[in-house]
Structures are given as structure tokens and as C-alpha cells.
Amino acid sequence: MCMKESGKVVLSGTQYMICYLQMQCVENSDWQNRTVVTSFTLLGFGNSEDLNILLFLLFLTIYLVILSGNLLIVVLVMVERTLHTPMYFFLANLSFLESCYISTILPRMLASFVTRDKTISLLGCILQMHFFSTLGATECYLFAVMSYDRYLAICKPLHYASVMNERKCILFVSVSWIIGILLITILTCLLSQLNFCNQYTIDHFFCDFTPIVRLSCSDTQVIETAAFITSSIGILPTFLITVASYVFIITTILKIPSITGRKKAFSTCSSHLTVVSMFYGSLTFVYVLPTTDKFKDLKKVFSFLYAVLTPMANPFIYSLRNKEVRSSLRKTVYQFRRFSEIQKN
């Protein structure tokens, strides 16, 4: 045993080695007493097993509506020549992203309603967080690009054609995807280095970054600092660009003398402004407000808003409030019916 004499440790060389080995054994035994976590349990919406069938049908309907609505916009933009403009090019990319975005969450949730198995492997949880966060970061940049597009169209119409040409549009979208992938890949690499032990329950309906990090028994200072830096790079600049663009847009619109002119100018950006407000409003509530028991349930609700309801609302907001999309949709449906009748005859 390691003995103390007069408040000091008195050890010979042999005793020092024995004491060191004893201490190592204690540390190893403490580590072995920890249960290494290889899977997590997603609590989802609480103890709702009696409602599994109802929730399955509800979320299946939501998933099909989101996929069909967003993919319909992608197809319309590809097929209709009248929609081959920068604004609809960005909209098609956003709709494709939303389809991928929701597919990282809902299929796994639907499976849990059927199997009643709420567990997800550690690797599966990290991958879900990676793809969801990557698409979310990319969406922030796409929103900024779409805001800048509307700013040029309304505030700088003479420069619009030269700035928003086909090459520039592809470049803006490519940069949005590349930055989103790079930022989140850094966090994913750091997250994969963490150890998880004893705690394995995530009070959420999907694997989000913050709930996972809070369960780690490793030192999370580095990854939390990295998350703050990447969030500052990923969210703050795009938010400022979006806000600044709409400040200039609204200022320019208010200067238009005729009421008809103001309505026409505002109609070209009102749909995007509605979606952006929903997205950033819920995102701010989830990630900016402190994580306390008081806000825990509200944060889950707002997470559901930006992760599920916003992708579902996008097609309706852009199509129902946009005459060009409605006109193209009617034209495409008419052509499809005519083609079907010809095939039957």
C-alpha cells in the first residue's frame, strides 16, 4: 500500500513501482466499471406506444407530401422552359435538398413506429447527424444565395443578367454544397473521437449535435469550440446576408410610387421571405436559447418545425403563391393527360 508519513509520501524505488501499478489497476477498474455505449435510445415524442399506428400514418403522409411536393418542383423546373431562370434554378436545388433533408430523419422514425425499436447504433447516430447537419448548413447558404438573387432582381435590375448568368448560378450552388460539407465533416471527425459511456438516452426524435455531445464522457471543450466556430462561419454570415438583402429589398419597394408596382415587386420575393422567416425563426429558438428543462420540450417542438414542417410547407408556399409555377403545373398536367389519351387511342 502507498503510505503517507507527516503529510508526505515516503517511497523507495521498488515501493514507487508497486504504488504506481496499484494506481493503474484502480484507474483501469474504474474505466472497466463504465459501460461503453454502442447504441442510443431516441425517446422521440415520449411514451406513445399506444399511438404508434396513428403516428406512423401521420408521418408517412407527411413524408410522402414532402417528397412529392418538392420533387414535383424539381421536375417542373427541368421540364418547363419558362422556369429556366436563376430564381427557379435555386428553387429546384432547394427542393432537391429538402427531399434529402427529410429523408435523413423520417424513414428511421417510421421504422421505429412499426418495430417499436427506438435504438440506433452509435455509427448510425453520427451518420444521421452528419447528413442532417450538412444539408442544414447547405440550406443556409442556399437561402442566402436566393436572397441575393432577389436583391439583384429588385434593387439592381440592370446588373442582374450579367451577375446571375448560368455559370454564376452553378458556381453559387456548388460553393453552398462544398462549404456545408466541409464545415460539418470537421465536426463529424471530432465527434467520432469522443467516448460514450453509461448514458445512452437521447431526449429527441433524431440525432442532433448538441444532445449527442452532452452524453459524451470525454472532454468536449475542443468540439464545442469547433462547433461555435463552424456555426459562426456557417449560420451567422448567411443570416446577415439574408437580412441585409431584404432590408435593401423592402427599402427599394417602399420607394416605388405606384401601389401596383409595389405589390408586383413584393410578390417576387414574398414566398422566399416566408420560408426564410420560418426556418431561421425556429432555428434560432433551438440553437440560441439556453438548454434548460424549461425550454427542452419547446426546443423539440421547434426542431420539428424547421426539420419537418418547413420542408412540407415549401412546395405549397412557392406553388400556391406563385403564378408561374401554377401555370406551369397546369400546362404540364394538361400535356400529360393529352399524351395519355393519345396512347390509349
With a cut of 70, say whether residue 291 has pLDDT above it.
no
In a domain, 79, yes or no: yes
Please report the pLDDT score of residue 135 as a whole number.
92
User: Domains in the chain: how many in total?
Assistant: 2
Q: Is the domain of 71 the same as that of 168?
A: yes
Share of the chain above pLDDT 70, in %: 77
With a cut of 80, say whether residue 267 has pLDDT above it.
no
76 or 272, greater pLDDT = 76
Q: Angle at Cα 325 formed by Cα 320 and Cα 331, nearest 5°? A: 115
In a domain, 340, yes or no: no
Burial 242-277 (b: 16+ CB within 10 A, else e): beebbebbeeebeeeeeeeeeeebbebbebbbebbe
What pTM value is reported for the model? Answer: 0.80
| Residues contacting 142, CB < 8 A, separation 6+ | 90, 93, 94, 97, 173, 176
Domain housing 221: 40-333
Please report the pLDDT score of residue 235 as a whole number.
80
**Element containing residue 120 per DSSP (H, E):** strand 119-121
Confidence of residue 228 (pLDDT cuts 50, 70, 90): confident
When mean pLDDT is compared across 119-133, 143-157, 270-284, the lowest value belongs to 270-284
Q: Is the domain of 114 the same as that of 13?
A: no
Can you tell me the mean pLDDT for 263-268? 76
Confidence of residue 177 (pLDDT cuts 50, 70, 90): very high
Q: Is the domain of 28 the same as that of 114?
A: no
Q: Is the domain of 26 the same as that of 48?
A: no
In a domain, 188, yes or no: yes
Confidence of residue 26 (pLDDT cuts 50, 70, 90): very low
Please report the pLDDT score of residue 138 as a whole number.
93
Can you tell me the mean pLDDT for 69-73? 88
With a cut of 90, say whether residue 97 has pLDDT above it.
yes
Q: Is the domain of 168 the same as that of 21?
A: no
